[in-house]
Amino acid sequence: MKRPLALVGFSYLLALTVALFFGERLSPYLACGASILFTIFFLSKRLRKGMVLSASMLAAALAFSSFSAGSSRLACVENLHGIEAEISGVVVDLPYDENYRTCYLLEVRRIENHAFPANGRILVYAKEPIADGPGDCVEGVMRLLLPDGNTGPFDQRASLAADGVYLYAFPVEEGAISVPGRENSLWISILSWKERLYDAADAVFSRSDSAFVKALLFGDKHELSEEVQEDFRVSGVSHLLAVSGFHLAVVTQLLTLLLRALRLPRPFCVLGVAAGILLFMATAGFSFSVCRSGIMCLILLLGECCFRRADTLNSLGLAVLLICLHNPYAAADTGFLLSISATAGIALCAGRLQKAMERLHTSDGVLHRLLRPVYALLASTLGALLFTLPLSLPLFGTISPAAVPANLLMMIPSSLLLQLSLLTVLAAAVAPGAASIAAIPVSWLCRYLRSCAAFLSGLPYASFSFSGREAFLWLGCALFLLGLAVLLGRGRPKLRLTGLLCVILFLVTLVSHQFSLRNVTCCSVLSSGDGISLVLTRNGRAAVVGCGGYSQSPLLRELDAQNVKELDLLALVSESFEEGSNAGHTLEKKPASVLLCRGESLANATLLSGSEKAGETVCYGEGYTVSLWDGAVSVERSGDFVRILCGNERILLWPEGAGEDTLPEDWKDCTILVMEETPDSLSDFTPRYGIFCMDEDAVSRVWRADYSFLPLATEDGAIEIRVGAGNTTQVRREL
């Protein structure tokens, strides 16, 4: 084996991902199966050659066993869902604002009359501040809730478990939360130093520049506007705002130059750089992507001390193995997986791609020297994009062609900004007056990067949707072609021909998918918890009916997946505070030609602010009728109920608290019933489908097998209703 650590590390990570997909119940059986295969491969002389299969199966067996043992920590907190209990713990991170509340990360010391995993954490959402900062002990009665789960291997519960967070908590009485004292530790001291750096950034930069610098240096995007985050995401450079390998490489280079300028002996330089890397990892919160890149940098430094060159793939495999051994739920962190894939793509492809580009011209003159760094940057970008595509398509369902020019235009300025802002913040923490001059170029660079991302994200097809069954089909075919090329290539796989076939297949799949949706009306009933939220699309135009649920995020994700920039209509279904807030945030991102709501809904400040982005705001009384897209869709309201007419389908929306006496008699003749709560009696209704827009607990209370219709629940994922030519209807679960 040329790279044993890479083989073991990647096999371990792949096995953990498989365990996440199948769940903790099947993990012991998977461990047994992998152990049996390891025994067979190890005992067979023919299969034991090279030890590749044996090592892979041994790593997989250990990973399955580790995941099975680690999942018991999740199982022991399930009985805490929905209870109120007295909790004591310590704040172990800087508080931040989210969803109109202050969020505290609490390391639990005790939950009254209940067991809790050692060093386990909870996220506390409080309407009013309950602590001053890290190190404060907090005590009080709180209501505990489990994060959303059972929606896939990367659901909210698994992602939070990767960070040691098992529950959400909400104080029952804000004023009853007490702070009996403080705890001091090395970690609390690091957080205090981080808070001091935050204050220094706020003092020397403007508010927008300070938020941008915090995102770039520490990966903290809580103060960064959603508009800037969206611009970076659409333009394909959101990795610049998530601290990972690029940031560690720049910091390592900066520290090396500074220490060598002091003419320190080589061992002292190496120790100083290593200490700086560890401190930077700590201030970035020891996220998995930071730890991965930090371990690789430390291995590189160790190789320099021993006068040995570290192998990139072996270093990557060792970093992955160490992180996954420490936390089996690391495989649920999408940022970690994308970081690994991008690093592997750069290590395997960047050098070859750069050589291929340099062969395009034979001149060794000035032009060649000028283009060499451009080729290197372009090759690294393409290598990273190529290897992250199998992950980004299933996870996000979008492709960003703008990522190539964005990386070329923004990577070098980002490197300069990272170094300048780091030095400026450190100087401001020690001597605020000396940092004011350095803040000027930092402000220029921040403005350039934001403007560049905004310009590129606004270009046509800067990012477009490629998701669902078509994306999985293309991805499976592309991987099959690649495997076939490797097997039949006899050591020299025909990668150029394979790449060309994959591109042709991609274009054919994309065009055929768009053609299949021509003159087809799609109604997506979104998975957003307790609340009705529908997206109607037809020939590139869109309307939203209902913004209910825990957040506007599922709605915005669906609109982004459909490449929607503006809405023809946004109509509220209820007058709840949550729906009004979600609608306001949605309008900030996706302006609407018409906003339909009751007058009292505009008392919500968020909706009132968002209504400024609407071309027209219409406040209705008892009802309305709106015709969309040349009569293809009609949206009607009477009393508390909304009905959508599309082809032969009559979709009735039943919001929570609706008065059945306001429902017109002829509206009971619906074909699809979308319910936030169930009617007292379903005897008068004869729909073909009943869709429950409720959370897991609510669905379990109302679910029955004797319904006269086919019951579906958005808790298991969004449901798509397609009405095509000839008024044919398809009802399908979105992937």
Percent of the chain predicted with pLDDT > 90 = 14
**Helix/strand number for the chain, H first, E second:** 23, 23
Q: Report H helices in 346-463.
A: 351-358, 366-396, 403-430, 439-457
Say what the pLDDT of residue 180 is.
Answer: 85
Answer for the pair 596, 579: CB distance below 8 angstroms, yes or no: no
Q: Which amino acid is at 369?
A: R
Confidence band for 446, pLDDT divided at 50, 70 and 90: very high
Among 409, 407, 391, smallest CA distance to 399 is for 391
Phi-psi region of 158 (alpha: psi -120 to 50; beta: other; left: phi over 0): alpha
Mean pLDDT of 678-694: 82
pLDDT value of position 493: 56
Q: Which two tokens stand for residue 351?
A: 């050098």
Q: Residue 55: pLDDT above 60? A: yes
Length of the chain (residues): 735
Q: Nearest Cα to 718, choosing from 532, 476, 570, 446? A: 532
Structure confidence by residue, pLDDT tens digits, 260-273: 888 888 788 888 88
- pLDDT for res 570: 92
Above 70 in pLDDT, residue 218?
yes
DSSP 8-state assignment for residue 348? I
CB atoms within 10 A of CB 422: 21
What is the C-alpha separation between 197 and 429, in angstroms, rounded?
A: 6
Contacts of residue 260, defined as CB under 8 A and 6 or more positions apart, other chains included, come to 269
Residues 136 and 544: their CA atoms lie apart, in Å, by 44
Q: Is 282 helix (H, G, I), strand (E, B) or coil?
A: helix
pLDDT surpasses 60 at 6: yes
Please list the alpha-helical segments (H only) found in 205-287: 207-218, 226-234, 245-261, 266-283
Confidence of residue 567 (pLDDT cuts 50, 70, 90): very high
Phi-psi region of 93 (alpha: psi -120 to 50; beta: other; left: phi over 0): beta
Taking each helix axis from N to C terminus, what angle separates 468-488 and 495-516, rounded to the nearest 10 degrees?
160
Average pLDDT over residues 406-419: 91
Six-digit token string for 579:
């729906």
| Residue 99 pLDDT greater than 80, yes or no | no
Q: Of 198, 236, 245, 202, which Cα lies nearest the Cα of 218?
A: 198
Written as one letter, the residue type at 117 is: P
Return the pLDDT at 561: 73
User: Which secondary structure element, helix H or strand E, spans residue 523, and what is its range?
Assistant: strand 521-525
Residue 196 CA to residue 217 CA, distance in Å, equals 14
At 517, is the pLDDT very low, low, confident or very high (cuts 50, 70, 90)? Answer: confident
State the CATH architecture for 79-183.
Beta Barrel (2.40)
- Whether residue 729 has pLDDT greater than 60: yes
DSSP for 574-634? ---HHHHHHHHHHHHHS-BSEEEE-GGGGGSHHHHHHGGGSSEEEE-SSEEEEEETTTTEE
Q: Over 80: is that where the pLDDT of 602 sits?
A: yes
**310 within 8 A of 303, measured Cβ to Cβ:** yes
How far apart are alpha carbons 116 and 133 in whole angstroms?
A: 23
Taking the alpha carbons of 336, 339, 341, 343 in that order, is the dihedral positive or negative?
Answer: negative
Confidence of residue 489 (pLDDT cuts 50, 70, 90): low
Angstrom distance (rounded) from CA 372 to CA 628:
54
Does residue 530 surpass a pLDDT of 60? yes
Rounded mean pLDDT, 293-306: 86
Give the 3-state DSSP-derived string for 644-685, with helices as H, strands as E and coil as C: EEECCEEEEEECCCCCHHHCCHHHHCCCEEEECCCCCCCCCC
Residue 467 has pLDDT above 60, yes or no: yes
Give 366 or 55, the one with higher predicted confidence.
55
Which amino acid is located at 372 in the chain?
A: R
Give the residue among 544, 539, 644 at the shortest CA–CA distance from 591.
544
Enter the CATH code of domain 521-733. Answer: 3.60.15.10
| DSSP label of 224 | S
- Quote the pLDDT of residue 473: 82
CB 611 within 8 A of CB 688: no
Give me the pLDDT at residue 295, please.
Answer: 92
Share the mean pLDDT of the chain.
84
For position 1, what pLDDT does the model report?
Answer: 59
Average pLDDT over residues 49-73: 83
CA-nearest of 355, 354, 414 to 378 is 354
Mean per-residue pLDDT for 289-294?
90
pLDDT of residue 44: 77
Which pLDDT score is estimated for 494?
Answer: 67
Longest distance between any two alpha carbons in the chain, whole Å: 88
What is the model's pTM?
A: 0.80
Burial class (CB in 10 A: 0-12, 13-18, 19+), 624: middle
Q: Identify residue 693 by its one-letter amino acid code.
A: C
Rg (CA), the chain: 28
DSSP conformational letter for 637: E
Give the integer Cα–Cα distance in Å for 153 and 701: 25
The predicted structure's pLDDT at residue 451: 93
Q: Decide if 61 contacts 34 (C-beta within 8 A).
A: yes
Question: What gap in Å lies between CA 511 and CA 508, rounded to an integer?
Answer: 5
